Amino acid sequence: MLDEQFYAEQENENWQNEFQLFWDITDNWNLTVGVFEYHNEIDQDLDFWTNGLLLRADNRVQ
């Protein structure tokens, strides 16, 4: 008879910012501008349990 239970909690917050500017002025001039922002927030709970589960392993070699 096997009765297992556990609880896990995860909290995570990520921020990322980026700015790019490419300026290549020649005979034919080029300009590239970019802005990037990312925000992620994780908040999760995990409950796991078994109600007296009967487990049996049968590893016979034939």
Q: Into how many domains does the chain fold?
A: 1
Q: Is residue 61 part of a domain?
A: no
Q: Is residue 32 part of a domain?
A: yes
Q: Is residue 31 part of a domain?
A: yes
pLDDT digits (tens, 9 = 90+) for 13-49: 999 999 999 999 888 899 999 999 999 999 988 887 7
CA distance 34 to 28: 20
Q: Report pLDDT for 40.
A: 94
pTM: 0.41
Q: Is residue 54 part of a domain?
A: no
Contact 4, 49 (CB under 8 A): yes
Q: Report pLDDT for 35.
A: 95
Would the pLDDT of 59 be above 80?
no
Residue range of the domain that includes 28: 5-49
Would the pLDDT of 3 be above 80?
no
Would the pLDDT of 1 be above 70?
no
Token reading at 18: 């980026």
